[in-house]
Structures are given as C-alpha cells and as structure tokens.
Amino acid sequence: MVEYNIIVVGTSAGGVEALTYLVKHLPPNLNAAVIIVLHVSSHSTSILPKILSRAGKLPVSHAQDGEAIVHGWIYVAPPDHHLLVEQGYLRLTRGATENRCRPAIDPLFRSAARTYGQRVIAVLLTGLLDDGTAGLLAVKMRGGVAIVQNPDDAMYPNMPRNAIDNVEDIVSFLPILN
C-alpha cells in the first residue's frame, strides 16, 4: 500500500473559503505535509496562514526557502514566489510567472510529482482559467493521486472543470460547499 505523505493544494478565486473548509476538516494527527498555493498579488501581504490557523488544528506558516518538510504542518506560498518541493525541504523561487501568476499551482504540483511520485496527493480547488491542470497531469503520470473540487460546488468552476476535461482518471471529487 502506498503511503501518501505529501499533499499539494492549489486554488485561486474563491480559494480562501475553500481552503478554510478543507483545513477545518484535516485531522490533528495528519501523517502528511500540506503545501498550498493560492494565487495572490505579488504586491499584497498574505494573511492566509493566520486565517487557516484559526480554521483548523494543524500549524500553518508561510514557507521559508530551505525549510524542512514536517508531517502535520501546513505550508503556504508567500506572495511573489513559486513554492517548490525538493527531497525533504521546500524551495522558494522568483522564476517567471506561469499562468500569469507567481506563485502558480503548476510549478508546485510538478515539483512534488518529480520528487515524491506516487506518494503525492494533488488537490485542485476553485479558480479561473486552467492553472493546475498540467501539474495534475504530472502527478498522475508519476503515479500520484489527483483530486478536484466538484465544479458544481466551486465558487469559480473553471480550474476544476478544465482539469476534469483534460486529465484522465481523476480519482474523486472533493465536495466543498461555498
């Protein structure tokens, strides 16, 4: 049996509400790290760790470059940095924008797939356009699990719908009521 111990989550428009719901339902003894990208303006200040800390029982912080990955912890991409997964630690970069965003979802998903393969669960939530679809495909190609929010439950269904239309064998839908 595969042990899934890296959970990567990507979202955009409507994402704060969806992430709050998701984090609220994570068990306090989760034997995995949760790594999140929410599209935010490069010039904004992110208070997402504070919001998610109040919503659930797991500790939450902005990821730091070179920080060790710890199970039972939630890491959030800071504004204007892509968040990547390396073997045992996190990497922040200021590479080119992808899907007009930095942070973007696809770099996180691709790096997790490349590093942890079948041990990855990738979750794509509400948002516009198609960021996350290529990353979900990379996760599936490396034997990981791809989950999307039910587009009917998403505040903005484009990202989950695009993934469903373009990635085979998305295992389940994550119902989140907004």
Annotated catalytic sites, by residue?
12, 39, 131
**151: helix, coil or strand?**
coil
Q: What is the rounded distance in angstroms from the CA atom of residue 170 to the CA atom of residue 30? A: 23
Is the Cβ–Cβ distance between 38 and 48 less than 8 Å? yes
Tokens 């991409």 identify what position? 77
Helix%, strand%, coil% for the chain, nearest 5: 30, 25, 45
Strand ranges (E), the chain: 6-11, 33-38, 60-62, 74-76, 82-86, 89-93, 120-124, 145-149, 172-174
> Which amino acid, one-letter code, is at 51?
I
